A and B are shown apart, each in its own frame.
Chain A
Amino acid sequence: MLEIKNLYASVEEKEILKGIDLKVNAGEVHAIMGPNGSGKSTLANVLAGRPEYHVISGEAIYEGKDLLAMSPEVRAREGVFLAFQYPVELPGVNNTTFLRAALNEARKYRGQPEIGAGQFLSMLKKKMQSVEMSDALLSRSVNEGFSGGEKKRNEILQMAVLEPKLAILDETDSGLDIDALRIVANGVNKLRSKDNAIILVTHYQRLLNYIIPDFVHVLYNGKIVKSGGKDLALELEDKGYDWVKPENESVAAK
């Protein structure tokens, strides 16, 4: 589904990603872990096409297409979804209208008919139950005045509505209490299927108790320094990120 090859990227002239290689197949869940500043969020944002992030070299092939050449909106319509670490408040933009507009953009792109307001609303209400969101949030402005947990749940709701092929969750677990974490994880697990792939960017192992990854990668200083199965996360939790550092540095010294 996604193949990243030797990807270098910078933010504000500072090189953050220094040669990322990653292959994600349909049906897989990949967790990307690493200490602060290792480039986890940069990777997520580069894949979503955030304009402030510049690709220096390398490529990302998504479903056989050059992902990095697409505008952010085309990536979304092609089925890539980024759950934001800090979801943006949009005062005056109605949550329901916004979601329906987003879904219809994707449907138009795929040559499907637009979905009407009534049909959309009944579908939306079902999806809202799955993330335990109150109907009251439907008539509110996007994320405006939402609590931290509500914002994250709203991200998962958007994901549930848009049904992406590739979902990238950027520290969706940060700042969540245990109940919210469970709700978010349930939402993600519902999306899991043999046709979809998920990339979980996270600092902590905690989320991986609820969403069991197929692969865990450790990012350090802009590179993936270690990859393994779900046990790698537990090992990391046990030994801390310092554990990957010397190994990396000693590798580099050779």
Chain B
Amino acid sequence: MADTSQIKNWYLSLFKDFENYLNGEKSLPFHKLRREAIEKFAELDFPNMHQEDWRFTDISPILKHTFAYANRRSTELPSKGEVSRFLFDGMKSHVIMFVNGFYSPELSTLLPLPGGVTIGSLAAAMKISDDGITAHISKYTGSDKDIFTALNTAFALDGAYINIPDGIAIEEPVHIIFISHGGEKTISQPRNLFIAGKNSQAKIIQHFVGTSNGVYFTNSVTEVYAGEGSNIDVTKIQEESLNAFHVATTEVSLDPNSNYESHALSFGANIYRHNLNVTLKGEGGNAILEGLYLLSGDQLSDTHSLIDHASPHCTSRERYKGILDDRSHGVFNGRIMVRKDAQQTNSFQENRNIILSNEAKVDTKPQLEIFADDVKCSHGATVGQLNKESIFYLRSRGIGENQARLILIYAFANDILKGIKIDEIRNKLEGVLGERLLKN
């Protein structure tokens, strides 16, 4: 087993620099959480493939680099022109941009908002000791178990903060763009908090990009609190540099009768790990988790999801699909927990994969733990190649072989893309899909 103490020491020394860099932030109550988290970080070890949760995912390449902490002062902003390509054509939205994890008011544009709604920087909200932050931050994460979450909490300074009061619907989507920019080998650790009041509604896009094709590391944590009867739709688009590393944890807590939809699209990064944990805390909650990973080269994409049915009468539907070429590797671990009292649970899970080369591989594992007796749970997983019969059928109608393959791959992926309700995003993603597929 590789010794990871050196790299841990690197991050511990980074934390000292970080503390020195902090000014007033040190006197805010949140700093106590940072200190606790760095202590946890020091106690925990980086995971290795002997651990069940990391059996298929080798993160040792991430630990080979000593990533520098890009602070607000050292970060040079990209130009507006440079980042305009990350916007979606024709989409009317609130745009907030983060450069190396820091909110950039220069690059952000908000549309008029209903009263009481906050969309913006976590750091700014911390400074004024926003009640929402005190009530919710770090309440849903397991910093005590996961070293990456501990690392993020220790360095948590900025990120996207959205707070929607009871009964308010935000019409336009909120497009949050996290840009890694500038010198190579930086680490960005955005910390995001979305609070949705009772019967509120919002569509949020978390969009991770890089301005270069360099090696960098994004370690992101997002907490979502969905109040009673709220409707929250979060689309995560991970199109980092193909040399980057991206580790993310999303913790979602659902109150009664709330609806949460997650659409996770993963195209970028050399190593990608997403821990997506959803807790159905109140009766009548509904969670839809959909995802698509499109991999080539030696990319690795790993989704570990946990849907915790902690209350009765909740439904969850999870569908992830993968398209893998070259030597890429897909991992899907779908854990569904139905607790003793969670009667009348209805849960469906599916993971389907198409492998386009001889060397690509998929590890897929459903994990159902059911302690209630009156439940309906089903799951399925497939890994296969494109159907030869289907290819021949298309060719027999005059469609060339490559085109036939494209049509079939596209149809397979579109099954997930069509779940995205914002047309402009779907159009853009269809374009990305076409580009990636035509490249071959």
Contacts and interface: CB of A to CB of B under 8 A. Distances in A.
B393 interface: yes
A101 B399 contact: yes
B398 A102 contact: yes
B408 A73 contact: no
Contacts of B396: 48-50, 72-73, 75-76, 81-82, 84
B393 A84 contact: yes
Contacts of A72: 392, 395-396
B183 interface: no
Contacts of A156: none
Interface in A39-61: 48-52
Given A76-B397, A162-B397, A51 B411 contact: no
B400 interface: yes
Q: How large is the interface on B (under 10, 10 to 19, 20 to 34, 35 or more residues)?
A: 20 to 34
Contacts of B410: 92
A162 B410 CA distance: 24
A92 B394 CA distance: 13
Interface string B378-398: 000000000111101111111
Q: How large is the interface on A (under 10, 10 to 19, 20 to 34, 35 or more residues)?
A: 20 to 34
A101 to B, nearest CB: 6
B401 interface: yes
Contacts of A132: none
B415 A102 contact: no
Given A51-B388, A51-B392, A102 B399 contact: yes
B397 A92 contact: no
Nearest to A72: B395
Contacts of B395: 49, 71-73, 76
Interface string A58-102: 000000000000011101110001101001101111000010011
B388 A109 contact: no
Given A72-B392, A88-B393, A93-B407, A105 B412 contact: no
Contact of B415 (A52, A77, A92, A105): A92
Contacts of A87: 393
Consensus secondary structure, chain B interface: helix
B157 to A, nearest CB: 44
A90 B398 CA distance: 16
Nearest to B395: A72
Interface in B398-434: 398-401, 403-404, 407-408, 410-412, 414-415
A182 to B, nearest CB: 25
B294 to A, nearest CB: 15
Contacts of B408: 90, 93
Interface string A134-157: 000000010000000000000000
Contacts of B412: 92
A207 interface: no
Given A51-B392, A90-B393, A73 B399 contact: yes
Interface centre among B388, B398, B403, B407 (most CB of A within 10 A): B398
A48 B414 CA distance: 30
Nearest to B412: A92
A77 B394 CA distance: 12
Contacts of A75: 396
A106 interface: yes
A198 to B, nearest CB: 16
A105 B400 contact: yes
A158 interface: yes
B394 to A, nearest CB: 8
Contacts of B401: 71, 73
A229 to B, nearest CB: 30
Contacts of A141: 411
A93 B414 CA distance: 9
Nearest to B404: A73
Contacts of A51: 388, 392
B398 A88 contact: no
A91 B414 CA distance: 10
Nearest to B391: A51
Contacts of B394: 90, 98, 102
Contact of A102 (B389, B397, B414): B397
25 contacts: A50-B392, A51-B392, A52-B388, A71-B395, A72-B392, A72-B396, A73-B399, A73-B404, A75-B396, A76-B395, A76-B396, A76-B398, A81-B396, A92-B410, A92-B411, A92-B414, A98-B394, A98-B397, A102-B394, A103-B398, A105-B398, A105-B399, A109-B398, A141-B411, A158-B397
Interface of B: 387-390, 392-401, 403-404, 407-408, 410-412, 414-415
What 3 A-B pairs have minimum CB-CB distances, sorted nearest first?
A: A92-B411, A76-B398, A102-B397
Interface of A: 48-52, 71-73, 75-77, 81-82, 84, 87-88, 90-93, 98, 101-103, 105-106, 109, 141, 158, 162
Given A88-B390, A93-B411, 14 more contacts: A51-B388, A71-B401, A73-B398, A88-B387, A92-B410, A92-B415, A98-B407, A101-B399, A101-B407, A102-B398, A105-B397, A105-B398, A106-B398, A141-B411
